[in-house]
Structure formats: structure tokens, C-alpha cells
Amino acid sequence: MDIVVDANILFAACIRDGLTRALLFHTSLRPYVPAFVFEEVTKHKATIEKKTRNNADAFFAVLRTYIEVVPEEELLPFLEEALQISPDPNDVHYIALARKLRCPLWSQDKKLKEQRFVQVFTTEEMKEQVA
């Protein structure tokens, strides 16, 4: 299953070895992110390392090999529509990527569930999807 993953899901996977991480690496999922996401996650490297007492760079390297990063230019044809759909300007790139790939989005953001153009799964709903 193709799935667009938002940054907060990646943060959760980085910080805790729990359900989110297990789901993210589930063999039935093909996760995608907009290119800026790894920049965003890397900005919080110190916090991640403080909370986990692990080397964040090593985990980021694993994520980069597993998650498909989609360049900004590939999203350009979908950004205008995503601006109209997204309930939050910070989520426009996730919506654009989900529209491009014609797949759902994995996010805990309740506002994203308010729109009806892209299916949004919470972590609990993702658990049901991969079961």
C-alpha cells in the first residue's frame, strides 16, 4: 500500500520504538514524503537524541533508504488544488503528494480529516490497514 507520511509520524517513529515505528516499517507499506520532511526532522535532531539517547543520524539514514522522497518539482502541478483542499497551509505538500500518488495520507492531524478529497488514516487506523 502506498502511503504519504507526515512529519509527526516520522518524529514519533524516531523517538519511540512502538506501534508507529512498527507500522512505518511494515512490509506491506510503501511510504512517501515530500522532500522537505527530512530537513524538518533533521532540525529536531538534538531533541530526538535527548529523548532516545540514540544517534539520530543513524536512524535518519535508515529512514532515507526505506522512505521514498518526492522532490518539490514533482508536486508543483498539484499544489494549487492542494491549497484549496488543505485545512492547514502546513499540510499542503502532504495533500499534493497524496493527490499525485492517488493514495491515502497517514497523520494524527485531526484537521486533515475535515477535508474529503484525500483519505487520512490515524495510526490506529493504519494498524487496521496492515493487519
Per-residue pLDDT tens over the stretch 32-43:
999 999 888 888
Instruction: Break the chain into its structural domains and give their ranges.
Output: 2-130
What pLDDT score does 71 carry?
Answer: 97
* CATH architecture of the domain with range 2-130: 3-Layer(aba) Sandwich (3.40)
Q: How far apart are CA 57 and CA 123, in angstroms?
A: 24
Q: Binning pLDDT at 50, 70 and 90, where does residue 52 land? A: confident
- Place 44 in a pLDDT band, splitting at 50, 70 and 90: confident
Q: Half-sphere exposure of residue 11, counting CA atoms within 13 Å on the CB side? A: 18
Whether 92 contacts 111, CB under 8 Å: no
**Model-level pTM?**
0.92
* Residues contacting residue 63 through CB under 8 Å, at least 6 positions apart: 10, 13, 14, 38, 41
Average pLDDT, the chain: 93
Q: pLDDT of 78-121, one tens digit each?
A: 999 999 999 999 999 999 999 999 999 999 999 999 999 999 99
